């Protein structure tokens, strides 16, 4: 398949999926039991005038097909209505929460990928050995562990008992720091949430890399490489690892889309002011416009991450060109 056709198909696919998901988002708040206008208001007292006003703002008084059109118009222009709890446009509320999440997720993912892959390479290479048995079973335990529980244990150990790190937040409340001191404080605050976020993925990437390595090592070309007189290390790093990277990189990219789930938990436990904490808070306040926006952003992140994975795969694996 030639390059252009491959890319066009992947991009069309992604656009189609985004349309589907956005339509689902539209339907979600209308098929739910109960009056959507009431749902979109804070719980408690809901005066009829406010409900009517809400109905107007979200065009709930119009026929379904018209609502659908207007929803698309609003969505494409980035209008998600007003947040109840903050009394500000949703776009504004969401925008200021994006960077903390990107920081947390970025650091966590890089850590998880590097550590997980290296552990996996050696486990797969010395398969069946003591190192392998230990790391593999450890990987499975890490994978089976609920992220938030691990986070609580981290707080208990490193924040409460040893007092090495703060229990949460991005900065000390009421303290203004600048320059290097600010960076240092940020890192101290970042460490535990990022580590917690990363730990589940470390297990996953370790296991994937390990099985990928063992799979590739059984390929004939690994034997060819050995027959050529290459040392064990050269066989591993020059022939086995480049091939074994392919599936792992794809999965890392695809997982990147699902970071929202991990971010919600890590941010909620550590009070990290990102999108995850925002969606947790708005869930508790039943702030639907915000939840709707976060949900849409999270879905699009997944689709875009998938698209990037496909494109990366194209460049990493020459066989896709064929």
Partner 1 sequence: MIPRRYRNWVLFWTPFIWLVLELLMYPKDVPLAAGLSAVLKGFFSARIGSYPPWVLVLGALLTAGFGILGLVRKSKARAFSLTLIGIGVVFALWAFLAGGGASGWSAGENVIAYNWVLQTIVVLLGGAAAWLWALGNPERAELTVWNTHQVWKLYRANWQGMVGLGILVFFLSMALLAPFLIDHALLDPNAQITDASGQLLGPYHPPTLSYYNWFGTDQVGQSVLAQFIWSSRISLTVGLLAALMSTVIGAGIGIAAGFYGGWQGEVWMRLTDAFLVIPWLPLAMVLAAAWGQNFFMIIIIIAITSWPGTARVVRSDVLRVRELQFIERARAIGSSNWHIMRKHALPNVMPLIFANLVLVVAIAILSETTLSFLGLGDPLNFSWGTMLHYAWVNGAAGLPAWWYLLPPGIAIVLVVLAFTFIGMAYDEVLDPKLRKREDSGAENRFTARGEAPAVAMGGAGAGGGGGMFTPGQQTDDAMPDFNKPAGGSIGRPEGGGWVGGHIKDDEEGGEE
Partner 2 sequence: MSPTKAKAKTKAKAPVKTPVERIAHKGILEVRELTTYFKLGVGDVKAVQGVSFDLEPGESLGLAGESGCGKTTAALSILKLLPENGRIVSGDVLFDGRNLAKRTEYGMSRIRWKEISIIFQGAMNALNPVKETGKQIAEPIQLHEGLSEGKAMVRVKELYDLVGISQKRVMDFPHQLSGGMRQRAMIAMALACNPKLVIGDEPTTALDVMVQAQILELIGRLRKDLDLSFILISHDLSVMAETCDKGVIMYAGEVVESGTTADIFNNATHPYTRQLIKAFPNIHEKREMVSSIKGDPPNLVSPPPGCGFCPRCDERIASCEAEHPEMVEVEAGHFVRCVHAEKGV
Instruction: Output the CA–CA distances (angstroms, integers) from residue 63 to 59, 73, 75, 234, 249, in the order listed.
Output: 9, 15, 18, 67, 46
Q: 273 near 97, Cβ under 8 Å?
A: yes
- Near partner 1 by CB under 8 A, which window of 72-80, 84-92, 177-185, 201-209? 201-209
Closest separation in Å from C-beta 322 to partner 2: 5
CB nearer to partner 2: give 152 or 230. 230
Considering CB distances under 5 to 8 angstroms, the limit depending on partner class, which of partner 2, partner 1, none binds residue 318? Answer: partner 2
Q: Which is nearer to partner 2, 243 or 292 (CB)?
A: 243
Closer by beta carbon to partner 2, 246 or else 301: 246
Taking the C-alpha atoms of residue 71 and residue 233, their distance in angstroms, rounded to an integer, is 58
Residue 27 interacting with partner 1 (CB under 8 A)? no
Contact residues toward partner 2 (CB under 8 A) are 219-221, 223-231, 238-239, 242-243, 246, 316-319, 322
Provide the minimum distance between the beta carbon of 112 and partner 2 in the complex, in angstroms, as a whole number: 24
Smallest separation, CB 239 to partner 2 (Å): 5
- Confirm or reject binding of residue 113 to partner 1 (CB under 8 A): no
Task: Provide, rounded to whole angstroms, the least separation between the CB of residue 185 and partner 1.
Answer: 20
Instruction: Assess 115 for contact with partner 1 (CB under 8 A).
Output: no
Query: Is residue 268 within 8 Å of residue 65, measured between CB atoms?
Result: no
Partner whose binding site includes residue 186, from partner 1, partner 2, none (CB under 5 to 8 Å by kind): none
* Binding partner of 146, given partner 2, partner 1, none, CB within 5-8 angstroms per partner class: partner 1
Reduce the DSSP state of residue 271 to 3 states and report it.
Answer: coil
Q: Among all chains, which residue has been given the structure tokens 């790190």?
A: 165
Burial of 178 by CB count in 10 Å (0-12 exposed, 13-18 middle, 19+ buried)? exposed
62-66: long-range contacts at Cβ-Cβ below 8 A with a sequence spacing of 24 or more? 64/30
Which entry of partner 1, partner 2, none binds 316, CB below 5 to 8 A by partner kind?
partner 2
Do 159 and 167 form a contact (C-beta atoms < 8 A)?
A: yes
15 binds partner 1 (CB under 8 A): no
Position 130 contacts partner 1 (CB under 8 A): no
190 vs 207 by CB, closer to partner 1: 207
Q: How far is the CB of 289 from partner 1 (least distance, A)?
A: 12
By CB atoms closer than 10 A (0-12, 13-18, 19+), residue 55 is: middle
Distance CA 37, CA 297 (A): 22
Of 193, 206, 211, nearest to 155 by C-alpha is 193
Burial of 247 (0-12, 13-18, 19+ CB in 10 A): middle
Residues written for the chain: 322
Residue 322: name its binding partner from partner 2, partner 1, none (Cβ under 5 to 8 Å by kind): partner 2
**Position 102 contacts partner 1 (CB under 8 A):** no
Smallest separation, CB 307 to partner 2 (Å): 22
Query: How far, in Å, CA of 144 to CA of 299, rounded?
Result: 25
Residue 76 CB, nearest approach to partner 2 (Å):
41
Per-residue contact flags (x/-) with partner 1 for residues 217 to 256, judged by CB under 8 A: xxxx-xx--x-------------------xx--xx--xx-
Tally helices (H) and strands (E) across the chain: 14, 0
């Amino acid at each position: 398949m030639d390059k252009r056709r491959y890319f066009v198909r992947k991009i069309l696919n992604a656009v189609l999926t985004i349309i589907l998901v956005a339509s689902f988002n539209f339907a979600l708040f209308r098929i739910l039991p109960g009056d959507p206008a009431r749902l979109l208001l804070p719980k408690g007292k809901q005066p009829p005038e406010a409900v009517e006003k809400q109905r107007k703002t979200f065009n709930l008084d119009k026929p379904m097909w018209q609502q659908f059109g207007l929803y698309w118009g609003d969505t494409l222009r980035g209008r998600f209505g007003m947040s109840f709890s903050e009394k500000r446009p949703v776009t504004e509320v969401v925008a200021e929460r994006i960077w903390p999440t990107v920081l947390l997720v970025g650091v966590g993912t890089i850590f998880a990928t590097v550590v997980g892959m290296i552990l996996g390479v050696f486990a797969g290479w010395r398969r069946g050995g003591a190192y392998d048995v230990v790391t593999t079973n450890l990987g499975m335990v890490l994978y089976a562990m609920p992220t938030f529980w691990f986070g609580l244990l981290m707080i208990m150990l490193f924040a409460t008992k040893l007092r090495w790190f703060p229990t949460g937040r991005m900065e000390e409340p009421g303290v203004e720091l600048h320059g290097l001191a600010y960076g240092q404080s940020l890192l101290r605050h970042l460490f535990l949430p990022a580590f917690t976020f990363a730990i589940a993925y470390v297990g996953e990437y370790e296991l994937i890399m390990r099985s990928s390595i063992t799979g590739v090592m059984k390929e004939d070309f690994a034997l060819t490489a050995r027959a050529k007189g290459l040392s064990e290390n050269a066989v591993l790093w020059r022939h086995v690892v480049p091939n074994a990277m392919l599936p792992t990189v794809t999965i890392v990219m695809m997982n990147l889309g699902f970071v929202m789930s991990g971010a919600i938990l890590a941010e909620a436990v550590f009070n990290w002011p990102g999108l995850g904490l925002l969606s947790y808070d708005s869930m508790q306040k039943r702030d639907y416009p915000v939840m709707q926006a976060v949900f849409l952003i999270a879905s699009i992140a997944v689709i875009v991450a998938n698209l990037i994975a496909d494109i990366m795969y194209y460049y990493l694996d020459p066989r896709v060109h064929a």
